[in-house]
Structure 1
Amino acid sequence: MTTEEKIFEAAKIIFHKKGFAGARMQEIADEAGINKAMLHYCFKNKQVLFEAVFKKAFGQLAPQINQIFTSEKSLFDKITDFTQNYISFIIENPFLPAFIIQEMNSNPEFVMSFMNTDNRPNPTILIAQIEREIKAGIINPIPPKQLLLTIFSLTIFPFAAHMLVKSMLHLSPEEFLQMMEERKTTIAQQIINSIKK
């Protein structure tokens, strides 16, 4: 494992434990097994490091999502694949939803820069498929973008508001994680049941 890879793995651990605001560069250096000077040589500050971790994670997620959107599978299979892939990814990178929300408020240009690249998730083909399946009578009439928003919201919200969810439902971290594992299939089934003829 390279020094950069050690830093990325350590940063993910510390950002998950402490959040962006609570994380300290010294803690990340200690977790990576390097000195703080080396960490600052590679990444001049915590914001730069967080953005690098985000870019790497997004670079792994976007191709997976695009592959789902553009595959030859049925709409129902794509919904199932999306919920399973996205939730698995966020379980591995639980700090990302909160970071995206934070950055959208304080540094929207950074987040939007990912939406203006060729690598961004592009739902155009999926939207066309939804329209075809409505016309074919496979699913109930529903605005395609509303359906996509529902799918995104149901998968993202519990992670973006995990402290609220844990508190309201009286969940331990282990119980929350178990519930998220269950959502990989329950969300997809609920959405499919609500739209199929």
Structure 2
Amino acid sequence: MIAGVAECVGTIYSAKEKGDVVQLIAKRSGLSEKQFRVSVKAINGISADNQKAISLKAFLLHEQFTGQHLDVVLSAVGTIYSSADKQNVFTDLIRNRYLKAQHFPSILNEIREMSNDSHKSDVLCKLAPRLPKNDANVRQAYLMAADSIYSSKEKAAATMAFVSEPASKGSKKQKKFADDASGKEYGSDDDYSKMQSKHL
């Protein structure tokens, strides 16, 4: 039945009404893995970014399915153009208790595609404390995402979040690092790149 409903969503013109139907599916108890996949795929057909984000967040509450079917979730996230809406979705996604080391590179690759430096840096800073930083694939994916940030201050904050010790939480250090990145300590992009390359 759910597959039929999800297919019917594609014929609904209004983005809000599409979102309302998909969100009702997400609230069903006993949702199966197949129903989860089919329904999340249906989100791709919603034209409004905010409705896509709201619908995705409803399905992210199914944490175990999200971890098991991260490919369809990230595919739907990839169709969102608004950086703010992507940030909203990622903020929920990175709290998922079932995410493991192998999940993070693909998440980081999608974060790298965010267009707004501030939003991208914010998501990376929130994600950094829970990453397995000794994993080479995770480390490379994170630093590539950080390096895609144009703003020196935001790039520095994201990088500092990764290299900081978890206990410090990095808040004051990140701010100082960010301020220094465009000032005297890291006087040029080349200096900053040298610092960053040490952690690759």
Give TM-score scaled by structure 1 length: 0.32
Higher helix share: 1
Give TM-score scaled by structure 2 length: 0.32
